[in-house]
Amino acid sequence: MNHNAQILAVHTDTTHRFSKHTVPEIELLAGLGVAGDSHQGVTVQHLSRVRADPTQPNLRQVHLMHQELFDALAAKGFTVAPGALGENVTTTGIDLLALPRGTRLHLGESAVVEVTGLRNPCAQIENFQQGLLKELVGYDDAGTLVRRAGIMGVIRRGGTIRPGERIVVVLPEEPFEALERV
- Quote the pLDDT of residue 60: 92
In a domain, 79, yes or no: yes
| pLDDT tens digits along 125-140 | 898 999 999 999 988 8
| CATH number for the domain harbouring residue 58 | 2.40.33.20
For the chain, give the percent of residues with pLDDT over 90.
76
Residue 41: domain span = 6-170
Count the domains in the chain: 1
- Quote the pLDDT of residue 159: 98
- Quote the pLDDT of residue 2: 57
The reported pTM is 0.94
- Quote the pLDDT of residue 54: 78
In a domain, 123, yes or no: yes
Output the DSSP codes for the chain.
--TT-EEEEEEE-SS--SS-EEES-EEEETTTEETT-TT-SSB--SHHHHHH-TTSB-S-SEEEEEHHHHHHHHHTT----TTTTS-SEEEESS-GGGPPTT-EEEETTTEEEEEEEE----THHHHHSTTHHHHHEEE-TTS-EEE-S-EEEEEEE-EEE-TT-BEEEE--SSSP----B-
Choose between 174 and 41: higher pLDDT.
174
- Quote the pLDDT of residue 109: 96
In a domain, 117, yes or no: yes
In a domain, 175, yes or no: no
In a domain, 1, yes or no: no
In a domain, 177, yes or no: no
